Amino acid sequence: MAKLLSCVLGPRLYKIYRERDSERAPASVPETPTAVTAPHSSSWDTYYQPRALEKHADSILALASVFWSISYYSSPFAFFYLYRKGYLSLSKVVPFSHYAGTLLLLLAGVACLRGIGRWTNPQYRQFITILEATHRNQSSENKRQLANYNFDFRSWPVDFHWEEPSSRKESRGGPSRRGVALLRPEPLHRGTADTLLNRVKKLPCQITSYLVAHTLGRRMLYPGSVYLLQKALMPVLLQGQARLVEECNGRRAKLLACDGNEIDTMFVDRRGTAEPQGQKLVICCEGNAGFYEVGCVSTPLEAGYSVLGWNHPGFAGSTGVPFPQNEANAMDVVVQFAIHRLGFQPQDIIIYAWSIGGFTGGLVTRTVRQHLNLNNAEQLCRYQGPVLLIRRTKDEIITTTVPEDIMSNRGNDLLLKLLQHRYPRVMAEEGLQVVRQWLEASSQLEEASIYSRWEVEEDWCLSVLRSYQAEHGPDFPWSVGEDMNADGRRQLALFLARKHLHNFEATHCTPLPAQNFQMPWHL
């Protein structure tokens, strides 16, 4: 009876992965008494085959879930319509509540029928036994066997906690439950007094901004968090996970961030291969509609690096909503997981991020700045390590006019702010002007022409920068170029711009080829 209840309340099972021979533990020597024997790929098909009862019940519940999602998104319009028609009176609401209660009872009965269908299926009973054993005892053997299944990630046990003693539970300066200290509110404009009268005047706009950000705004900025889109992409995501697990020997893990969100990750370890770049870990940060299952992880994987992919809060297996503070908390626990559980040194970790999304307009500008401000340039300037920006010359998403107008590409602003922060004396009037000319070049031939016009001597630039670093240390900002003439600043500015930004002739969603995945330049 207990097993039947577990089948009724258990998660949906999608797939049984092919088990690699190298991962199988000797069956005669189980690691713990709670370990159970996993099925071999020779006995069962890798795709989970539900019985007819479970299959049809699952279809009904999935359809009900889609209708509920549509009802949720359209509820403001529905309530407005019902109010105008007079259907929100007590005499009309009571019968409706009876219909709703009857529908819920019917759905509960369908869920019980699905549980019976699962209980009669030996594949599902084997899976639920392994899942329960892993929740009781997270031994390496139980977790290895559980990794052979792809199921609803909400039931996956937590593999890494942000407060683990091995990470930062007792360290000073770590994140609190309020989140990582990466973001700060927008400062007041100079001369603006935050009086009670000003607060009252701004209150309607602030309320409107909050409502927009927490309803349409968040879903427009991060369309990947929309349930209906995830439902439509589910077959593709399952196929991508299967490829990472079966072909790349990927290991899935659930991380618990300081805000309580659970982050879905996939790790591919290449440290045991002959390729030297396998000792480096690339943490892939997907775009606003991207998932690690089908995202930018393919580029560093093809180039031979170890890779750690993760999904934004609210994307696929990750919980929560993708607001900036939640994003910062998620990234924090991912990096801590890479250092303290996977064993990578900070200097061997590379962050590879794709896209940020963009908005225009008056109310949207206020909403994004107050509630959805990603502060990309501000956060990048706080980073002291090497950086490489890849500008897509035909990008149709982060250009503010048309893709052909390369000067409207927001990657230009990111480069200029980074260089102005790190080398403020070099990026004075002459340096800023010549870098803008270089960014405006629409082809490699034009870039080379500008570079040669100013006769940039790379050996001289390197010697100047290395001499400054040896004398003053590596921490930015640098005052190099303070006593330099205008021609010297132009040469140095062009040299630095070329080292920090590479062009890639492609549109926004074109995957980056492995040969274009290069390490950032550093002295």
pLDDT one-digit tens code per residue, 219-257: 777 888 888 899 999 999 999 999 999 999 999 999 999
Provide, for the chain, the percentages of residues in helix, strand and coil under a 3-state DSSP scheme, each rounded to the nearest 5.
50, 10, 40
What pLDDT sits at residue 46? Answer: 64
**Where is pLDDT greater, at 361 or 138?**
138
Taking the CB of residue 165, how many other CB atoms lie within 10 A of it?
Answer: 10
The secondary structure of 97-163 as a DSSP string is HHHHHHHHHHHHHHHHHHHHHHHT-HHHHHHHHHHHHHHH---HHHHHHHTTEEE-GGGSPP-EETT
Strand segments, DSSP code E, in 426-488 are none
Task: Over range 365-376, report the average pLDDT.
Answer: 53
pLDDT at 1: 77
pLDDT tens digits for 124-144? 999 999 999 999 999 999 999
Burial environment of residue 45 by CB neighbours within 10 A (0 to 12, 13 to 18, 19 or more): exposed
Task: Tell me the pLDDT of the chain averaged across its residues.
Answer: 85
> What dihedral angle (degrees, nearest 10) is formed by the CA atoms of 100, 103, 105, 109?
-160
- Going by the DSSP 8-state scheme, the letter that residue 406 receives in this structure is G
Looking at residue 176, what is its pLDDT? Answer: 64
What is residue 47's DSSP assignment?
B
Average pLDDT of span 326-349: 92
Residue 40 is predicted with a pLDDT of 46
Higher pLDDT residue, 258 or 324? Answer: 258
Q: CB atoms < 10 A from the CB of 274, how many?
A: 7
Right CATH for 158-166+196-374 from 3.30.70, 3.40.50, 3.30.1360, 3.30.1450: 3.40.50
pLDDT of residue 361: 30
Domain ranges in the chain? Answer: 1-16+45-154, 158-166+196-374, 375-522
What confidence tier does 357 reach under pLDDT thresholds 50, 70, 90? Answer: very low
Percent of the chain at pLDDT above 90? 59
The pLDDT value given to residue 274: 85
Give the residue, 400 or 135, on which the prediction is more confident: 135
pLDDT above 60 (res 184): no
User: What integer pLDDT is reported at residue 193 of this predicted model?
Assistant: 52
| Band of pLDDT at residue 370, cut at 50, 70 and 90 | low
Indicate whether 212 pLDDT > 80.
no
Would the pLDDT of 103 be above 70?
yes
Label residue 85 by pLDDT band (50, 70, 90).
confident
Whether the predicted pLDDT of 30 surpasses 80: no
Mean pLDDT of 399-408: 87
pLDDT digits (tens, 9 = 90+) for 268-309: 999 988 889 999 999 999 988 899 999 899 999 999 999 999
> For residue 367, is pLDDT > 50?
no
Taking the C-alpha atoms of residue 368 and residue 155, their distance in angstroms, rounded to an integer, is: 34
Given this model, what pLDDT does residue 359 score?
Answer: 26
**Which residue did the predictor score with more confidence, 499 or 176?**
499
Query: Considering only CA atoms, which of 178, 134, 186 is closest in space to residue 157?
Result: 134
- Mean pLDDT lowest among 140-149, 205-214, 275-284, 496-505: 205-214
Q: Which residues are catalytic?
A: 355, 395, 472
Predicted TM-score of the model (pTM) = 0.79
